[in-house]
């Protein structure tokens, strides 16, 4: 399959303008023969929403902008980020896979960073599940930014047969080292390579770019092969649209050479987790 990484700089609080940008890039991706185009976290709304959350929220399956993305997905898969309004007046930082003219898979961000410069826990409810979805290109998992930093998130998806992991992010730029590279971008790339190699899965990471409310977002989107090799990478700080192919042969080769998923002792892990909770009162 061929994937397009749409590293955009969403306009804060303006989902209408952002939707037009999505549809434009989807059209360009289709012309290039892409099977899937992936946008960043909260790509329809911007990140620093705070009190704007209720104003930009979309009701799943009924929001006009979500319907527009679904309609655009009849011949190409689309992953986009948005604020979901759910029953009970709950709002989620969500990402959806639109495919075949419908929203086929929804992930609600589980781990909401509320420390340092982040304040998501004040405005969003937390998701409570990690699930995969079957697609024409293989079993796919979807995570949002902070979810990826908890290794159990990717591992739970891998236990469900995940072959492709898509991570959408709004990661700010932090630190410059002696080589003038962003330390935050290098750290994300290190994490992507380790997870790809450990789980023998493709890892697609799409981060936003641009500036918002005084924050600079690093960009630096990438694709890691199951071998841990970097197959494609986008520019830092700026908007970008890059393409890469992911051949089935690389996944088969990685899983044959290191069958870690096959040899995982899930029953042992469950027993040990039960023992730890009983004895220690949970993870510390």
For 186-208, give the DSSP string.
Answer: HHHHHHHHHHHHHHT-EEEEEE-
- 0.85 cut: is pTM over it? yes
Number of helices (H) and strands (E), helices first, in the chain? 9, 15
Q: In order of start, what are the domains of the chain with their CATH numbers?
A: 2-258 (3.60.110.10)
CA gap 250, 212 in Å, rounded? 38
What does the alpha-carbon distance between residue 199 and residue 37 come to, in Å, rounded to a whole number?
A: 23
Tens digits of pLDDT across the chain (284 residues): 999 999 999 999 999 999 999 999 999 999 999 999 999 999 999 999 999 999 999 998 778 999 999 999 999 999 999 999 999 899 999 999 999 999 999 999 999 999 988 999 999 999 999 999 999 999 999 999 999 999 999 999 999 999 999 999 999 987 654 445 677 888 999 999 999 999 999 999 999 999 999 899 999 999 999 999 999 999 999 999 999 999 989 999 998 888 888 888 999 999 998 998 888 665 55
Nearest Cα to Cα of residue 168 among 39, 10, 63, 267: 39
Rounded CA gap, 47 and 114, in Å?
A: 14
């Amino acid at each position: 399959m061929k994937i397009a990484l749409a590293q955009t700089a969403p306009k804060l609080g303006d989902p209408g303008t952002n939707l037009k940008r999505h549809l434009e890039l989807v059209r360009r991706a289709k012309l290039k023969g892409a099977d899937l185009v992936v946008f960043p976290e909260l790509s329809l709304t911007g990140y620093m929403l705070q009190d704007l959350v209720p104003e930009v929220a979309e009701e799943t399956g009924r929001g006009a902008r979500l319907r527009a993305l679904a309609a655009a997905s009849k011949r190409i898969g689309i992953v986009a980020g948005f604020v979901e309004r759910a029953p009970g007046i709950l709002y989620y930082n969500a990402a959806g896979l639109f495919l075949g003219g419908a929203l086929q898979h929804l992930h609600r961000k589980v781990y909401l960073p509320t420390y340092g410069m982040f304040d998501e826990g004040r405005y969003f409810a937390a998701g409570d599940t990690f699930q995969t979805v079957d697609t024409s290109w293989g079993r796919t998992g979807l995570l949002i930014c902070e979810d990826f930093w908890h290794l159990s998130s990717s591992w739970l998806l891998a236990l469900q047969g995940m072959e492709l992991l898509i991570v959408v992010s709004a990661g700010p730029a932090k630190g410059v080292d002696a080589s003038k590279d962003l330390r935050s971008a290098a750290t994300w790339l290190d994490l992507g390579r380790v997870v790809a190699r450990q789980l023998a899965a493709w890892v697609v990471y799409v981060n936003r770019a641009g500036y918002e409310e005084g924050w600079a977002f690093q960009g630096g989107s990438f694709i890691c092969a199951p071998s841990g090799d970097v197959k494609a990478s986008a520019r830092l700080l700026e908007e970008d649209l890059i393409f890469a192919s992911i051949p089935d042969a690389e996944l088969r080769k990685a899983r044959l050479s290191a069958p870690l998923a096959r040899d995982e002792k899930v029953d042992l892990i469950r027993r040990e987790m039960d023992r730890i909770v009983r004895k220690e009162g949970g993870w510390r």
